[in-house]
Amino acid sequence: MRRSLVIPLAAALSLIIAACGGAPAAPTAAPEAPTTAPAPTAAPAAPAATTGRLETITARGTVICGVNNNPLPGFASVDASGVYSGFDVDFCKAVAAALFDDPSKVEYRPLSSQDRFTALQTGEIDVLIRNSTWTLGRDGDVGLDWSPTTFYDGQGMMVRKDSGITSIDDMDGATICVQTGTTTELNLADVFRAKGLTFQPVVFPDGDQTRSAYDAGQCDGFTTDKSGLVSSITLLSNPADHQILSDTMSKEPLGPSVLQGDPKWADAVNWITYATFQAEEYGITSANLAEFSASEVPEIRRFLGIEGELGKGVGLSNDFAARVIKHVGNYAEIYNRNLGPDTPFNLPRGLNALYTEGGLLYSPPFR
């Protein structure tokens, strides 16, 4: 019929262009976008092999931090004006404070439980601080590196007070709401199997949906990390009708994680985290930082970067700890601001106390 030669060729070309060219509409704007809060995404970074993540971030001027996409009050939530706050968010700010002496240099990337690790793997985010549990599988197969645990958590179970359930052993045959793509989902199955109990799962891809199904009575129990349960309870229609069982089904050490294979960046995040622990141990807070800066104790002078070159060793400025304390505070300040007695959660420190107070927080020495 037709001798169409050019047209199929054009077809082929446009297809290929569509296949690979569709994407790179990525912003090419300058790294400073004035009024519109978060700065542009793609720093035109050279491949990761040649430049470390730390240099990329420094050049970009902001750190991209993956946080929870579902509001998890106390850990990460956004208010109506788009401002992020919470325990996890404060650690994002700590990283920014250490790097840029400005806690606002964070670009938050809300992530679901399904795509949080992919985001790290593809380099979309620099660091993931999204109540993610440190497990061997994720450290190994998924290819992540975990920073010190900032919150020792464990999986718990919430039930209605009028259900008469006092422990998980009472829950044979119960329907349980759980979120998919989480270790919670796996632990739940393991624990019930180990106890020889049956249960009917109702599994949602989304934390909000899971909670709302439980709230509607579609499930007898609702399981997630206890920290999550504590903040969820404030979001139920009748918080007083519910209780969290004392059983703990798992160990859930939650902390920042970065992509494996960039030890320098991992070290930087590690020591920024440790700095908050160490500051609490020394008793340095954002309020009394000035007094400590005048301290003659060599240990403290080194820690705050007044003498010595400790920070340089991990690719940070020497006063990175002082910056973190100045802008975000020490661990106790972060904890109390978000989860402490003055918040609706009033969560006891428990394992999340310093080792000197019977907890598990322990920083290696800064020297």
Partner 1 sequence: MASSIPRTSRSSIPFYRDTRVIAVLVQVIFAVAVVAGCWVLYQNMIAGLTRANLLPTFSFLNVPASFPIAESVIPYDPSMTYSQAFVVGLLNTARVAIIGIVLATILGVILGIFRLSSNWLLSNVAMAYVEIVRNVPLLLQLIFWFYLTKMFPRVQESINLGDAVYLHNRGVTLAWPEPTASFSNWLWWVGGALLAAVAIYVVRQIQFRRRDRPGVAVPYAILGWIVIAGVGYVLTTAFSGMAPAVLVFPELQRFNFVGGATVTASFAALLIGLVIYTAVYIGEIVRSGILAVSKGQREAARALGLSQGQTLRLVIFPQALRIMIPPMTSQYLNLTKNSSLAVAIAYPDLFYIANTINNQTGQAVPVILMLMVSYLSASLFTSLLMNWYNRNIQLVER
Partner 2 sequence: MVADGTTARLPDVTPVQRITTWVRTNLFSTWYNTVITIVLLYGLANALVGLAGWIAQAQGWTAAFTNMKLILAWTYPNDQIWRPQLAVLIVAALLGLSAGVWRGVVQLVTIGAALTTGALAVPAVGLPEFAGTVGLPSWLVLAMSVALLLLGIPLGRRAGGWLRWGLIVLWIAIYPIIILVVRGGIGLPVVETKLWGGLMLTLLLAISGIVLSFPIGVALALGRRSRLPVIRIFCVAYIELIRGVPLVTVLYMGSLLLPLFLPGGESVDQFIRAMVAVTLFSAAYLAENVRGGLQALPAGQTEAARALGLNVVQTTFLITLPQALRAIVPLLVGQSIGLFKDTSLVVIVGLIDLLGAAQNVVGQPDWLGTPGGVWRETFLVIAAIYWIFSFTMSRVSKRIEDSFATSRH
DSSP string, 188-248: HHHHHHHHT--EEEEEESSHHHHHHHHHTTS-SEEEEEHHHHHHHHTTSS-GGGEEE-S--
Among residues 13 and 37, whose Cβ is nearest to partner 1? Answer: 13
191's tokens: 């624990």
Question: Other C-beta atoms within 10 Å of 367: how many?
Answer: 9
Residues binding partner 1: number (CB under 8 A)? 52
C-alpha–C-alpha distance, residues 122 and 117, integer Å: 9
- Closest by Cα among 251, 246, 322, 335 to 282: 322
If one asks whether residue 175 binds partner 1 (CB under 8 A), the answer comes out as yes
Which of 101, 124, 170, 185 is close enough to bind partner 2 by CB under 8 A?
A: 124
Question: Among 213, 261, 356, 299, which residue's Cα sits nearest to residue 223?
Answer: 213
Residue 1 touching partner 2 (CB under 8 A): yes
CB of 286 to partner 1, least distance (A): 38
Considering only the stretches 10-18, 223-231, 243-251, 277-285, report the one whose residues sit in contact with partner 1 under the rule CB under 8 A.
Answer: 10-18
**Pick from 258, 275, 219: nearest CA to 127:** 258
Match 């109702």 to its residue by tokens. Answer: 202
Roughly how many angstroms between the first and final C-alpha of the chain, as a whole number?
81
Report the residue number, 53 or 349, with the smaller CB distance to partner 2. Answer: 53
Per-residue binding letters, 93-112, with partner 2 (x by CB under 8 A): ----------------x-xx
For position 21 contacting partner 1 by CB under 8 A, the verdict is: no
356 binds partner 2 (CB under 8 A): no
Considering beta carbons, is residue 9 or 33 the nearer one to partner 1?
A: 9
135 to 174: interface string for partner 1, x by CB under 8 A: -----xxxx---------------------------x-xx
Q: What is the dihedral of CA 194, 198, 203, 207, to 10 degrees?
A: -60
Distance CA 84, CA 61 (A): 19
By a kind-dependent CB cut-off of 5 to 8 A, residue 185 interacts, out of partner 2, partner 1, none, with partner 1
Which residues sit at the interface with partner 1, rule CB under 8 A?
1-3, 5, 8-9, 12-13, 16, 19-20, 48, 113-114, 117-118, 121-122, 140-143, 171, 173-175, 178, 180-181, 185-186, 188-190, 193, 199-205, 209, 212-213, 216-218, 220, 259-261
